[in-house]
Structure formats: structure tokens, C-alpha cells
């Protein structure tokens, strides 16, 4: 009987960012600003032809700008956070709570819901005329459907319920509006059944 040879190996996480999108502490600034380093074992191996990463669209289409570097992304994220803190401070000084402005999944869905209702002409801006944008409404409803599909299993029961209720109401409203627009105008004062 042949003896089994036990081999050991080490796994090294080479990702630049944590699951939260933060730069990993063990990543040096040099690694961030340069391209992916080649491990010594890979440098000796024959290069294998690979397809370009779907995340780097600039390699496929020269008109698409290159993906920002990790350092550029961190700089942008820091500037955004600073600006948001300054706005929050101004909001607090005006007597309102900055927490009221925090974006949650429910608020995002509610925003899409309100947008679709405006597009269907079922809501209007104050002192404004209702306007119907069926294509825009359809895209907004389809966006909510896409969210439902992509977030399946990752939502709290309350979020899932809210999303499904939004979709149900918007789909029904869309059908009602499109049916009303497809019907010919009815003559007033006559009853076609009594002829």
C-alpha cells in the first residue's frame, strides 16, 4: 500500500480592500499605486493567455476611462466623507437631525417608488401639472424588480416586505395607467347598452 504524502501550504489574502471597502492595513501604499505584483512562483511559470477582467472596461474600449487607482478612490472617499460631515454639521445647526438624511435601503426604495408615481402621473410636484412618462416609469419599476432579484436572501423581512409592496403597487398602477391611455374616450350622456 502506498503511503500518502502530506503537503502543507499557506494561503495569503492579496486583496487590497476589506469587505467594507476599506484599504487593508497590511497593504502598503506602493502595492496600491502599482499593478498587481507577480508572486515568485508565477514569475517562473509560462504566461497563460487570459481574457481581460470585466471590471476593467478600458482594456476593451479605449473610449472608457481607466478604473481609478486605489489611492485615487481613497482620496475621493475621504473628500466625500469630509464634505458630508460639513453638511451634517450645517443641518444640525439648523435644528434638524442629520440622521434624517441618512440613506437606508427603505429610503432608497421609497425614492424609486415616488419617482415611478411621478412618472405615471399619479403624483405631481406642488403647483405642478401631472406629466406621464411611461418609458421612465417602466424603467423605474424594472429597476426595483432588478433590486428584488439581486438582493434575494440578503434583505431583512421588513425590507423584503417593503420592496414587494412597492413592486405590487407600482405594477398595478402601471397597468391601470396604460389601460386608461389605451381606451378610447367615452361619450358622455349616452349608455351604449340601452340602444
Q: Please tell me the predicted confidence (pLDDT) of residue 177.
A: 94
Higher pLDDT, 53 or 24: 24
Pick the closest to residue 138 from 177, 174, 164 (CA basis).
Answer: 174
Q: Which residues contact 67 (CB under 8 A, 6 or more apart)?
A: 55, 56, 57, 58
Cell numbers describing residue 104: 437606508
Average pLDDT over all residues of the chain:
79
DSSP state of 53: P
Close Cβ partners of 88 (under 8 Å, ≥ 6 residues apart): 98, 101
Condensed to tens digits (0 to 9), the pLDDT of residues 3-46 reads: 666 666 666 666 666 666 666 666 555 554 554 444 444 444 44
pLDDT digits (tens, 9 = 90+) for 138-158: 999 999 999 999 999 999 999
Residue 109 has pLDDT above 90, yes or no: yes
CB atoms within 10 A of CB 17: 14
Question: Which pLDDT belongs to residue 41?
Answer: 45
- Exposed, middle or buried: residue 158 (CB in 10 Å: 0-12, 13-18, 19+)? exposed
* Predicted pLDDT at 139: 97
Instruction: Determine the angle formed by the axes of helices 157-182 and 105-119, rounding to 10 degrees.
Output: 0
pTM: 0.56
At 143 the pLDDT is: 96
pLDDT in the model for residue 165: 96
pLDDT of residue 97: 83
pLDDT band at 49 (very low <50, low <70, confident <90, very high): very low
**CA atoms of 80 and 88, how far apart (whole Å):** 12
pLDDT tens by residue, 82-103: 998 888 888 888 888 878 778 8
pLDDT at res. 128: 79
C-alpha cell read off for 27? 497593504
More confident residue, 135 or 51: 135
Amino acid at each position: 500500500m502506498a503511503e500518502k504524502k502530506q503537503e502543507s501550504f499557506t494561503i495569503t489574502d492579496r486583496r487590497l480592500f476589506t469587505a467594507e471597502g476599506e484599504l487593508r492595513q497590511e497593504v502598503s501604499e506602493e502595492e496600491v499605486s502599482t499593478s498587481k505584483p507577480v508572486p515568485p512562483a508565477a514569475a517562473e511559470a509560462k504566461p497563460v493567455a487570459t481574457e481581460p477582467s470585466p471590471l476593467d472596461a478600458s482594456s476593451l474600449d479605449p473610449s472608457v476611462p481607466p478604473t481609478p487607482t486605489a489611492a485615487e478612490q481613497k482620496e475621493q472617499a475621504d473628500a466625500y466623507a469630509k464634505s458630508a460631515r460639513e453638511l451634517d454639521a450645517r443641518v444640525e445647526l439648523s435644528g434638524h437631525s442629520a440622521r434624517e438624511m441618512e440613506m437606508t435601503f427603505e429610503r432608497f426604495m421609497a425614492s424609486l417608488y415616488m419617482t415611478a408615481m411621478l412618472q405615471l402621473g399619479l403624483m405631481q410636484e406642488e403647483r405642478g401639472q401631472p406629466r406621464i412618462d411611461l418609458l421612465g416609469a417602466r424603467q423605474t419599476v424594472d429597476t426595483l424588480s432588478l433590486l428584488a432579484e439581486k438582493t434575494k436572501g440578503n434583505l431583512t423581512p421588513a425590507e423584503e416586505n417593503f420592496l414587494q409592496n412597492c413592486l405590487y403597487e407600482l405594477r398595478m398602477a402601471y397597468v391601470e395607467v396604460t389601460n386608461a391611455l389605451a381606451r378610447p374616450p367615452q361619450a358622455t350622456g349616452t349608455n351604449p347598452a340601452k340602444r
